[in-house]
């Protein structure tokens, strides 16, 4: 019953959200049906808006009151990640991953660039966890086992399954295999 409380500095919060969405005070005011002056005063914390006003304004973005108070907008400002910025994760000698946005908080999604060396295998005791996952082979080939099904995927091929179905990845070929995967929620 206890969500981490965001700062009650509504003004800064609103200004941040507005700028993230690339709106000017006047443009947002027009969409929301309020005056630009009101938004200015609120953003300076010179007034404490009524719920009805705040709701009108957020509707112009659009964003729900719940999302406005729940999410930590300050923490999620990085949008683009250079290849060198991806977080490296290694599993033994044969499997390595590069994660997008490893520094972000409260992610709902995880995207990885994975590399399987020849012979790499996640092991016979199948992987199982909550959520769903999906991937596309970029180069090389990969044998994917999901429940009773098994297939060797070539570049361009893809998979999608509920992660609670036992699954396993192996690289049978002589070349290393690269793929891009996404899963939700993140498992690390």
Partner DNA sequence: TCCCGGCGTTTAGAATACTTAACAATTTTG
Partner DNA sequence: CAAAATTGTTAAGTATTCTAAACGCCGGGA
Q: Which is nearer to DNA, 4 or 50 (CB)?
A: 50
When the beta carbons of 30 and 107 are compared against DNA, the nearer one is 30
By CB under 7 A, residue 8 contacts DNA: no
18-57 positions binding DNA, by CB under 7 A: 24-27, 33-38, 40-44, 46-50, 52-54
Q: Which of 135, 100, 155, 154 is nearest to 146 (CA)?
A: 135
Instruction: Give the tokens for residue 162.
Output: 């509920």
Q: Between residues 66 and 90, which has the closer beta carbon with respect to a copy of itself?
A: 66
Rank residues 37 and 185 by Cβ distance to DNA and give the closer one.
37
2 binds, among a copy of itself, DNA, none (CB under 5 to 8 A by kind): a copy of itself
Q: Phi/psi at 168 (nearest 5 deg)?
A: -155, 145
Instruction: Look at phi and psi of residue 60 and say left if phi exceeds 0, alpha if psi is from -120 to 50, else beta.
Output: alpha
Mention every residue, 6+ apart, whose C-beta is less than 8 A from residue 20. 73, 77
User: Residue 19 CB, nearest distance to DNA (Å)?
Assistant: 8
49-108 residues near DNA, rule: CB under 7 A: 49-50, 52-54
Rounded Cα–Cα distance for residues 154 and 5 (Å): 47
Establish how many alpha carbons lie within 13 A of residue 61's alpha carbon, considering only the half-sphere containing its beta carbon: 21
DSSP 8-state symbol, 21: T
CB of 71 to DNA, least distance (A): 21
Residue indicated by tokens 């630009």 = 36
Q: Tell me how far apart the alpha carbons of residues 59 and 9 are, in angstroms, rounded to a whole number.
A: 19
**167-170/142-146 β-pairing:** antiparallel
130 binds DNA (CB under 7 A): no
Stretch that binds a copy of itself, among 81-89, 93-101, 123-131, 141-149 (CB under 8 A): 123-131
78 lies in the binding site for a copy of itself (CB under 8 A): no
Q: Candidates 30-38, 80-88, 91-99, 128-136 — which segment interacts with a copy of itself by CB under 8 A? A: 128-136
Q: Applying CB under 8 A, which residues contact a copy of itself?
A: 1-6, 8, 10, 47-55, 64-71, 108, 125-130, 164, 166, 185, 187
């Amino acid at each position: 019953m206890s969500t981490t409380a965001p700062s009650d500095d509504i003004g800064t919060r609103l200004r941040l959200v507005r700028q993230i969405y690339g709106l000017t005070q006047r443009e947002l005011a027009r969409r929301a049906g309020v005056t630009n002056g009101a938004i200015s005063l609120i953003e300076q914390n010179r007034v404490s808006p009524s719920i009805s006003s705040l709701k009108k304004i957020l509707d112009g973005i659009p964003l729900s009151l719940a999302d406005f108070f729940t999410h930590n907008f300050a923490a999620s400002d990085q949008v683009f990640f250079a290849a060198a910025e991806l977080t490296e994760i290694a599993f033994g000698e044969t499997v390595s991953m590069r994660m997008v946005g490893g520094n972000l908080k409260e992610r709902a999604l995880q995207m990885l660039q994975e590399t399987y060396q020849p012979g790499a295998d996640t092991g016979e005791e199948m992987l199982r966890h909550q959520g769903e996952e999906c991937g596309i082979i970029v180069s090389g080939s990969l044998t994917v086992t999901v429940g009773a099904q098994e297939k060797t995927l070539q570049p361009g091929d893809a998979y999608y399954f509920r992660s609670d179905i036992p699954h396993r990845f192996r690289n049978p070929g002589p070349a290393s295999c690269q793929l891009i995967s996404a899963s939700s929620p993140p498992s690390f």
